[in-house]
Amino acid sequence: MKQVSYLLLFPLILSGNIFGAEAVSKQQLFERVFGTAVQLDPAQHAAVAQDEHGKRHYVDQDNDGIPEEVWFIDLDSRHLEDMRPVLVRVLDEDGDLRMGEEPDLDSDLYVADWKADGTVDAVTDYTDTDGDQDVDEMGIYFIGWTKDKITCWWGEDTGDDNLLWHDVGYTYRQRDCQSRSHFGGVETFCAYILGLDDPEWHPGWENPFVFYDLDNDGVTEEVVRIEGQGDVIQNLRYSFDADNDATPGAPRDFDVSLSAHAPEGTLLPAELGDKRTLRGIPAGAFMAFKEVQQYSMTFPWATYQLTWDENDLNIDGEGFEGLAFKDPQERWEGIITQKNEFFKQIGGPSCGLVNKRNEVDLESDTPIRVYYADTDQRVHLFGANHAWLLVDYNFDREPDMRYDYHDSDGDGYLDRWTLDLNVDGKPDEEWYGEIKANRDIPYTYAALNEIMQPLLETLPSELFQLSSRLRQALNASGMPDKNPIEALLETGFDLPQLPVDLRLRLLNSNESWRYYLDLLKDSLTASLRAQHGASDFWNVFDPLRASGDITGMREAVEEEFGLKDALPDFALVRKVITARYDRPRVAWAQNWVPPNIGWESEQAAYRCYWGLFDFFGKKKDVLIYPLFKAGEDYHKEQEWGIDALNVDDTCGLGGITLYVNGKAYPVYSPEGKGSIVWSKGVLKEAKDTVSIEVTAEKVGPEAAPYTVRFHCSALGNRKDSPIQVTVEGGAPDDTLEVGIGMRKLSQESFAMDEAAGILANWGIQDPTIGWIGLGVVYPKSLALRTEDLPDHHQVVLKAERGKPLTYHIQGTWLKGRRFDRCPTLSNWMGDLKETASVAGL
């Protein structure tokens, strides 16, 4: 975000001042864009506001039995209290709304009236531009920067992964929405404003913001923001996940940015522009997605600042509560450098002043140029006039150390490093680099990743072993006291201002280990130099340091001090330190309401009663069964989530039918009725896995009944549950089959992938719960046929007496998905295909 966006817009959004204030022309501005769609009929409005909240009111203007719109008071928990009640008018713009069904998130228009006071406050517009029934563009409209203009945040799902922005009250508020807005994969967005008499939308600030997924893993490795007003280009921020350690579960992990200011009067070349139309009104151009990378890299920007996130915590470095970070989530915007005496800040919130390496070129007027230096195994900005790193290793908001980098001969390459160990302004350690140790590289993801990913896989171990030898040398030289960095690492960052999540992020990051071990290596080297003045040793050690030969430096210390004992195993030490934060990642419980038994990971919870299978949707990774109380109703949304499936009298998610010689015998007993005898209990429980057993006796023919055993498991960090079924007893000549069922939803899309062994649906039963997905992953080699039954879908598998058969069940709850706008059945099938791959079925 541009600084004015954050400093001016977002605090007002957060406080509600902009949205609470009534602009004289607010209704006119909305009507300028949406016409009669935002004219709320008073009689209809009153009927909805005075009726039961949550009840759907359908409007069928032409009496053809197909509604054009639906009105309701939206009870979704995402909406803020200062907005409630939120009255919504939804206009179906693609003709697929039906009586009794829910509007969708592809081509529908949501008009929101906060407080149900008769005035429109926000509009969210979902657009399917290619007719494939998923969202391609999304616009969030509100009265924002100025009261006399309407603002649109417009986004395009350029990569077609169906994921865009979260909203509250059908608008965007940074604090409440940024974590759950996708801002990733391959996307484009731009900000616009429009006055009542303006002929076109005026682009500004995010002009555009673009995200690139270069390895097709669904996660952004490269993000670029060009800021401007109209056709004027003002600045650039260009960031990479250089070591490619972001994952679908933790999709934001940017390491470096190059920020740049454009020369005065820089204009967007017309041939590079992309002009869109928003609700029939033309918009001014922003730089086209396909042009951004080339232009950014080849344009001669006036000034540059390279910022490298050395400790691998790219979080808000400005907001604190005491010593604790107020907002510890990884930033989505890239690396936002904090203003300093040399460079004006671009956007906010910044990454802060400490533990980030900054290099500034004040008089560039050339395209981006960077290089890799073997001396410190880092990428640097060519031509940097000022370069420094302020260290706060213990997060007490007080600088502990400072590095300065110098280009002594003015050739554009750094050649001298100084280290101030106590920030008194006097260097305590100095060393030099070699000219041959510098290598120019392009500022591209491919070039950075080619260096950083393999480097960070080996360098922490090399640094750890060097630091261990330096510690031994200091002990031998009469300095046995531990360096504070040593002590901090041994405690696993046990600091009261760091929550466990942040400690684990540091401990699990190769980049943060490299940073801290570099700090330790340089500190110990300075201490050894002060204590051990043998010039012959330093004449060997220092040239090795200049060339970045970590192994050579270690061997020089070993030779000097006669160190021949075995080197410590960094991986083992790291594992032991990290293990102090181990916790149970699975749980089970039973009989909170008899005859329930449940099993869960932090990501997903399942339960079974009388052979009917159910799941709980979660809003966050948490174990819920230890919190359950006897008799409590979880069909109402809780802080952690909700009972997400109404099983009723069906098999639910993964209940089975036993076929004996072709005759069906359901292995579930709605309301406990029938002849089947049920028992249950826990089989085994460990930190990362738990298994329970449910046994059904007297299943099938009375003359030769069967016993069916279910072994149901939860696995740490997994969303699926393996179900192992064993059929025992019966007549020896019987032909056996097992039908795995998945209940139908009242409004659903269904898919079956025989090649992958997947049965899936996506839909809704109850607006209170919202959209859910159900999935069964089965061994495709055993599949015989499918059955389309009145209340459930079923796949029938070959079964053998006494031979375990394993399938997996998985459920998802849209409100619990981090990125809830706007996945579809195709996204859900992608999740299940990943499960099938992991399960190896």
Residue 228 Cα distances to 261, 265, 267, angstroms: 11, 11, 9
Per cent of the chain over pLDDT 70 is 97
Regarding whether 796 and 780 lie in a shared domain, the answer is yes
Please give the radius of gyration of the chain, using alpha carbons only, rounded to the nearest integer: 31
How far apart, in whole angstroms, are the C-alpha atoms of residue 407 and residue 387? 9
659 backbone dihedrals φ, ψ, rounded to 5°: -100, 120
Regarding whether 802 and 655 lie in a shared domain, the answer is yes
Q: Which of 23-27, 455-459, 605-609, 679-683 has the lowest mean pLDDT?
A: 23-27
pLDDT at 5 exceeding the cut of 70: no
105 neighbors 119 (Cβ within 8 angstroms): no
Q: Which helix (H) or strand (E) holds 28?
A: helix 26-34
What mean pLDDT do residues 498-524 have?
99
Nearest to 692 by CA among 644, 656, 658, 724: 724
- What per-residue confidence (pLDDT) applies to 505? 98
- What per-residue confidence (pLDDT) applies to 20? 38
Residue 815: give its domain's CATH number: 2.70.98
Confidence grade of residue 111 (pLDDT, cut at 50, 70, 90): very high
**Cβ contacts of 246-252, under 8 Å, gap ≥ 24:** 246/219, 246/220, 246/221, 247/219, 248/217, 248/218, 248/219, 250/330, 251/184, 251/218, 251/219, 251/220, 252/183, 252/184, 252/220, 252/314, 252/329, 252/330, 252/331, 252/332
pLDDT at 18 exceeding the cut of 80: no
One-letter amino acid identity for 271? E
Asked if residue 255 is part of any domain, the answer here is no
Q: Would you list the DSSP string of 483-536?
A: PHHHHHHHTTS--TTS-HHHHHHHHT-HHHHHHHHHHHHHHHHHHHHHH---HH
Looking at the chain, the number of H-run helices and the number of E-run strands are: 15, 45
The pTM assigned to this predicted structure is 0.93
Regarding whether 633 and 780 lie in a shared domain, the answer is yes
Domain boundary among 579, 594, 624: 579
Nearest to 835 by CA among 750, 687, 717, 737: 717
The alpha carbon torsion through 433, 437, 438, 444 (nearest 10 deg) reads: -120
- What per-residue confidence (pLDDT) applies to 364? 87
Residue 639 Cα distances to 619, 635, 654, angstroms: 8, 12, 27
Here the tokens at position 494 are 């046990």
> Under 8 Å CB-to-CB from 617, ≥6 apart: which residues?
641, 642, 643, 644, 769, 772, 811, 812, 813, 815, 816
CA within 13 Å, CB half, 487: 7
Asked if residue 822 is part of any domain, the answer here is yes
Quote the distance between the C-alpha of residue 612 and its chain's center: 33
One-letter amino acid identity for 263? P
- What per-residue confidence (pLDDT) applies to 762? 99
- What per-residue confidence (pLDDT) applies to 631? 80
How far apart, in whole angstroms, are the C-alpha atoms of residue 297 and residue 367? 6
pLDDT at 101 exceeding the cut of 70: yes
CA within 13 Å, CB half, 81: 0
Regarding whether 599 and 569 lie in a shared domain, the answer is no
Count of beta carbons in the 10 Å neighbourhood of residue 562: 9
Beta bridge partners of 203: 192
Here the tokens at position 271 are 């041939």
Helix ranges (DSSP H) in 434-481: 445-476
Confidence grade of residue 249 (pLDDT, cut at 50, 70, 90): very high
- What per-residue confidence (pLDDT) applies to 12? 30
Asked if residue 12 is part of any domain, the answer here is yes
Regarding whether 520 and 664 lie in a shared domain, the answer is no
Quote the distance between the C-alpha of residue 373 and its chain's center: 32
- What per-residue confidence (pLDDT) applies to 630? 86
- What per-residue confidence (pLDDT) applies to 352? 98
723 backbone dihedrals φ, ψ, rounded to 5°: -120, 120
Give, rounded to a whole angstrom, the gap between the first and last alpha carbons of the chain.
45
Regarding whether 170 and 120 lie in a shared domain, the answer is yes
Here the tokens at position 816 are 């619990």
Domain boundary among 131, 159, 182: 182
Here the tokens at position 442 are 């392009």
Domain boundary among 553, 579, 605: 579
- What per-residue confidence (pLDDT) applies to 215? 96
How far apart, in whole angstroms, are the C-alpha atoms of residue 719 and residue 810? 7
How many structural domains does the chain have? 3
Average pLDDT across the chain, whole number: 95
Confidence grade of residue 841 (pLDDT, cut at 50, 70, 90): confident
One-letter amino acid identity for 795? V
Q: How many residues does the chain have?
A: 841
What mean pLDDT do residues 338-349 have?
96
764 neighbors 747 (Cβ within 8 angstroms): yes
Regarding whether 623 and 539 lie in a shared domain, the answer is no
Regarding whether 564 and 608 lie in a shared domain, the answer is no
693 neighbors 709 (Cβ within 8 angstroms): yes
- In the three-class reduction of DSSP (H, G, I as helix; E, B as strand; rest coil), residue 683 is classed as strand
> DSSP letter at 733?
T
Q: Look-up: residue for tokens 């009725």?
A: 673
720 neighbors 604 (Cβ within 8 angstroms): yes
How far apart, in whole angstroms, are the C-alpha atoms of residue 258 and residue 246? 19
One-letter amino acid identity for 642? I
How far apart, in whole angstroms, are the C-alpha atoms of residue 695 and residue 106? 44
Regarding whether 612 and 758 lie in a shared domain, the answer is yes
751 neighbors 761 (Cβ within 8 angstroms): yes
- What per-residue confidence (pLDDT) applies to 10? 32
306 neighbors 370 (Cβ within 8 angstroms): yes
- What per-residue confidence (pLDDT) applies to 511? 99
**pLDDT tens track for 144-174:** 878 899 999 999 999 999 999 999 999 999 9
How far apart, in whole angstroms, are the C-alpha atoms of residue 351 and residue 357? 11
Q: Would you list the DSSP string of 388-433?
A: EEEE-TT-SSS--EEEEEE-TT-SSS--EEEEESSSSSS-SEEEE-
Confidence grade of residue 620 (pLDDT, cut at 50, 70, 90): very high
Q: Would you list the DSSP string of 160-219?
A: --S-----BTTB--HHHHGGGS---SSEEEEEEEEETT-SSBEEEEEEEEEEE-TTSSSS
> Under 8 Å CB-to-CB from 46, ≥6 apart: which residues?
none
Asked if residue 648 is part of any domain, the answer here is yes
**Cβ contacts of 734-737, under 8 Å, gap ≥ 24:** 734/660, 734/661, 734/704, 734/801, 735/660, 735/661, 735/662, 736/658, 736/659, 736/660, 736/799, 736/800, 736/801, 737/658, 737/659, 737/784, 737/796, 737/797, 737/798, 737/799
Nearest to 45 by CA among 71, 84, 22, 27: 71
Regarding whether 608 and 500 lie in a shared domain, the answer is no
Cα angle: 126, vertex 129, 135; to 5 degrees: 40
Structural domain span for residue 174: 1-182
Asked if residue 35 is part of any domain, the answer here is yes
Count of beta carbons in the 10 Å neighbourhood of residue 689: 17
Asked if residue 365 is part of any domain, the answer here is no
Regarding whether 655 and 638 lie in a shared domain, the answer is yes
108 neighbors 91 (Cβ within 8 angstroms): yes
How far apart, in whole angstroms, are the C-alpha atoms of residue 199 and residue 577? 62
Regarding whether 660 and 543 lie in a shared domain, the answer is no
Peptide bond connecting 822 to the previous residue in cis, omega within 30 degrees of 0: yes
pLDDT at 11 exceeding the cut of 90: no
**pLDDT tens track for 649-700:** 999 999 999 999 999 999 999 999 999 999 999 999 999 999 999 999 999 9
Cα angle: 233, vertex 237, 243; to 5 degrees: 155
Asked if residue 301 is part of any domain, the answer here is no
Helix ranges (DSSP H) in 280-364: 289-298
Asked if residue 41 is part of any domain, the answer here is yes
What mean pLDDT do residues 505-528 have?
99
> Under 8 Å CB-to-CB from 662, ≥6 apart: which residues?
735
Here the tokens at position 328 are 């510890």
